[in-house]
Amino acid sequence: MTDDPSRDRQDHAPVLTIRPAIVERNSRRVADRFDGDLVGVTKGVGGDPRVARAMVDGGATAIADSRLANLRRLGDRVDCDRYLLRPPMRHEIDAVVRNAEVSFQSEPSVLRATAAAASRRGVDHRIVLAVDVGDRREGVLLDDLASTLSIAAGIDGIEVAGVAAHTGSLNGVVPTAESVSRFVNCLERAEESISRQVPICSAGSSNTLGLCFDGDLPERVTQLRIGEAILLGTDPTTGEPLPGFETDAVVLSADVIECKAKPSAPTGPTGRDAFGESPTVEDRGVRDRAIVAMGRVDVPVEGLAPVREGVDVLGASSDHAVLDVTAVRESIRPGDSLTFELDYGALARSAASPYVATAYE
Ligand SMILES: *Cc1c(COP(=O)(O)O)cnc(C)c1O
C-alpha cells in the first residue's frame, strides 16, 4: 500500500471519502466538553494519517490504534504520543517500543518483555494497564488491579502511566456512573498500595460520552479514547447520532453497473446463497433494482445507510450489492455513483479492503 492510496486508486470505485474538516469539528465537540485529555482513535480508518492530523487539530492530545501497522503508517506525521490499544503480540514487542510511546498491557510476562525491549533499545516506553470492568475482553479484573499495578511498578525499563477501562466492544456492556466510580475507587486503592499516583485514568471510549456530557464522570478521570463519535458522530450504545455531531465525516460510494425493473422474488428452487445463508425474500412484485459494483468482500452491506432518499439495500454477494430504487424520484442509470453512510463495522472493514480507494474532500 502506498502512503496515499487516493493517488493511485482514485479512478476505481468503491471510494471511501474522508472529510478531515468534519473529523476536526467532531473532535472539537468532544474536546470542548471533556475536562481532560482526548485520545483520538484511528483504527476505524486503518490509521489514516490525515484523519489523525484532523483529530489533533480538533484538540486530541494523542492518537491511538489497535494495530501496530497503523501506528507505523502514522510514523512521525503527527506530533504527539502514539498509543497501541491492543496488548502486544510477543513477536511485535521490539517494534512496539520503536513505534508507540505508550502501549496497553494486561499480562505481566508481556510487560517484562516490553521493559526488556525498551531497555535494550534505550527508549522510554510507558504502559497503561488495561482493566476489565465487565465487558470480558482484555484487561486485569478489578480485584487484581492493585496486585498487577504493583508488579508493573516494580519492573525496570517501563513507566507505569496509568490504567484504562474499556467496555462495549465484545458484549455491549455500557458504562454507568456506578461502574466508573467503582473503577476509580479501585484505582485509588491500588495507588495507595504502590504509594504513588499514576497520571492516566482512562475511563472509556465513545460509549462513555453520554456520562461525560451529563457531567457524571468523576474528576479523577483524566482521559477518554474516542473513535466512533469522531468518525461517525454516533453513540455506539444506541447507534444513534450524538446531538450536535456530524455523521458524514466518512462516506462510501460505489458505481451503478445495472438498473432494471425485475420481479422481486427469485424464480426456481432455492438453496444456500454464496455465503451459506438461506435468505427469504418478500414478493413485492416488479421493482426497480440497481446493482452497484461493491460487495461483501468490500463491506458488510448491513452496515450501510444510503444517503439518497428511497434507496434500500436488499443484499449482496461477494462483489455485487443489490438495491431497491423504486422509491427514488430521479432515475438512476449505469455510471451513476451512490453514496452510503456507514456503521463502525462497515467503516473499519471497507477502510481495510484493498479494493476500496480513499479520497479526501
Ligand atoms: C476501539 C477502542 C477504543 C475506541 O472505541 P470507540 O467506540 O471507537 O470510541 C478505545 N479503547 C480501546 C481499548 C479500543 O479497543
Residue 102 has pLDDT above 50, yes or no: yes
Atom of ligand 1 nearest to the CA of 231: 8
254 in the same domain as 224: no
Residue 2 has pLDDT above 70, yes or no: no
Identify the domain boundary among 163, 198, 231.
231
103 in the same domain as 24: yes
Classify residue 102: in a domain, yes or no.
Answer: yes
The protein residue with its alpha carbon nearest to ligand 1, atom 5, reads 205
39 C-alpha to ligand 1 centroid (Å):
10
52 C-alpha to ligand 1 centroid (Å):
15
Classify residue 74: in a domain, yes or no.
Answer: yes
Residue 274 has pLDDT above 90, yes or no: no
Residue 99 has pLDDT above 80, yes or no: yes
Q: Which residue has the higher pLDDT, 52 or 273?
A: 52
Q: How far apart are CA 36 and CA 51, in angstroms?
A: 21
Residue 10 has pLDDT above 70, yes or no: no
306 in the same domain as 354: yes
The answer, yes or no, to whether any atom of ligand 1 lies below 6 A from the CB of 204, is no
Question: Given this model, what pLDDT does residue 11 score?
Answer: 62
Question: Given this model, what pLDDT does residue 271 score?
Answer: 86
212 in the same domain as 96: yes
Please, are residues 199 and 222 in contact by the beta-carbon 8 Å criterion?
Answer: yes
Classify residue 14: in a domain, yes or no.
Answer: no
277 in the same domain as 214: no
pLDDT digits (tens, 9 = 90+) for 45-56: 999 999 999 999
261 in the same domain as 203: no
pLDDT digits (tens, 9 = 90+) for 217-262: 999 999 999 999 999 999 999 999 999 999 999 999 999 999 999 9
The answer, yes or no, to whether any atom of ligand 1 lies below 6 A from the CB of 242, is no
Domain with residue 299: its CATH number is 2.40.37.10
The answer, yes or no, to whether any atom of ligand 1 lies below 6 A from the CB of 236, is yes
254 in the same domain as 225: no
324 in the same domain as 217: no
Question: Given this model, what pLDDT does residue 272 score?
Answer: 84
Residue 7 has pLDDT above 50, yes or no: no
Residue 280 has pLDDT above 90, yes or no: no
185 in the same domain as 123: yes
Identify the domain boundary among 231, 258, 284.
231
Domain with residue 81: its CATH number is 3.20.20.10
Residue 288 has pLDDT above 70, yes or no: yes
Identify the domain boundary among 231, 261, 287.
231
**Phi and psi, residue 74, nearest 5°:** -70, -40
Question: Given this model, what pLDDT does residue 56 score?
Answer: 98
Classify residue 11: in a domain, yes or no.
Answer: no
Q: Place 119 in a pLDDT band, splitting at 50, 70 and 90.
A: very high
99 in the same domain as 208: yes
Q: How many domains does the chain have?
A: 2
Classify residue 320: in a domain, yes or no.
Answer: yes
Q: How far apart are CA 76 and CA 19, in angstroms?
A: 22
The answer, yes or no, to whether any atom of ligand 1 lies below 6 A from the CB of 66, is yes
Residue 190 has pLDDT above 50, yes or no: yes
> What residues make up the domain containing 212?
20-231
Classify residue 92: in a domain, yes or no.
Answer: yes
Residue 1 has pLDDT above 70, yes or no: no
Ligand 1 binding pocket mutation candidate from 133, 205, 212, 245 (most atoms within 8 A of CB): 205
Residue 337 has pLDDT above 80, yes or no: yes
Question: Given this model, what pLDDT does residue 5 score?
Answer: 45
183 in the same domain as 38: yes
pTM: 0.94
Residues above pLDDT 90, as percent of the chain: 88
Question: Given this model, what pLDDT does residue 315 score?
Answer: 95
Partners of 103 in beta bridges: 84, 127
Please, are residues 55 and 43 in contact by the beta-carbon 8 Å criterion?
Answer: no
Classify residue 269: in a domain, yes or no.
Answer: yes
pLDDT digits (tens, 9 = 90+) for 65-96: 999 999 999 998 999 999 999 999 999 999 99
Question: Given this model, what pLDDT does residue 12 score?
Answer: 65
127 in the same domain as 63: yes
Classify residue 303: in a domain, yes or no.
Answer: yes
